[in-house]
Amino acid sequence: MIKQFTFNHFEVNCYLIVDDHVATAKHKRCCAIVDPAPEASFEDVQLTQYIEEQGLTVTHILLTHAHVDHIAGLRQCCEHFGLPVTMHPDGRKLLRQAEAWGSMMGFAVDAMDDLEVVEVGDNDTLHVGSIEVECRYVPGHCPGSLCFVVPSEKAVLTGDALFHYSIGRTDLPGGDYPTLIEKLKTRILTLPDDYRVLPGHGIESLIDKERKYNSFLA
């Protein structure tokens, strides 16, 4: 199961990838948090309370990318669950700049230089309980941008690389339009037609629809 929340004044989609196997004495129900974006305390509570009520064990905190709106609640999540952040190494510079970007974009975030980081790269596979999560490196929106493919759910979490009939902006530092288009066509649109596209903002789509109707990718 993939559970969606929408947090902060940028309306970021935060996801839980949940292993739906029934919990037993030997098998806990695991989950991964993707883009921990809670900004306000009530949003923190909404996320952590759901995890606790469902009896879930958080095994990973994943970033599609380190723009400040997607990591507004990162420090709180890392500290609350006692976990490092798992991300692409090329996103470390943005992570170090989180406090500065926050002051410009209206986010009151603390410095994140000291957070423990686990680095993952293109084609790496993570395991959230019994669920496999494939990492695909899709730069162009910003350095360090990953998409997470979840075959068991027929879904791909695209962050700000791909939206419903649109793509991520490329005019911020580190953005590159030709790279983003090439990576989306070769790394994401090659997925099966019926895979759900779960973006970092807005509504979900399907690979088939994006291939046919996304004017940026036609």
The boundaries of the domain holding residue 17 are: 2-213
Residue 69 is assigned to a structural domain of this protein = yes
For the sheet containing 2-7, what is the strand order? 2-7, 12-18, 29-34, 56-62, 85-87, 117-119
Q: Give the pLDDT score at 218.
A: 84
**CATH number of the CATH domain containing 17:** 3.60.15.10
Q: Give the pLDDT score at 113.
A: 86
What does the alpha-carbon distance between residue 188 and residue 193 come to, in Å, rounded to a whole number?
A: 11
- Answer for the pair 58, 33: CB distance below 8 angstroms, yes or no: yes
- Tally of domains within the chain: 1
Residue 101 is assigned to a structural domain of this protein = yes
Query: Amino acid identity of 108?
Result: A
Residue 45 is assigned to a structural domain of this protein = yes
pLDDT at 27 over 90: no
How do residues 165-203 score in pLDDT, each as one tens digit?
999 999 999 999 999 999 999 999 999 999 999 999 999
- Answer for the pair 102, 108: CB distance below 8 angstroms, yes or no: yes
More confident residue, 9 or 20: 9
Q: In residues, how long is the chain?
A: 218
Tell me how many degrees the CA angle 56-150-121 measures, rounded to the nearest 5.
100
Q: Give the pLDDT score at 202.
A: 98
How do residues 106-126 score in pLDDT, each as one tens digit?
888 888 889 999 999 999 999
β-pair type (166-167, 125-128): unpaired
Residue 58 is assigned to a structural domain of this protein = yes
Residue 218 is assigned to a structural domain of this protein = no
**Strand-pair partners of 162:** 167
| pTM greater than the 0.85 cutoff | yes
Contacts of 25 (CB under 8 A, 6+ apart): none
Q: What is the CA radius of gyration of the chain?
A: 16
How do residues 73-103 score in pLDDT, each as one tens digit?
999 999 999 999 999 999 999 999 888 887 7
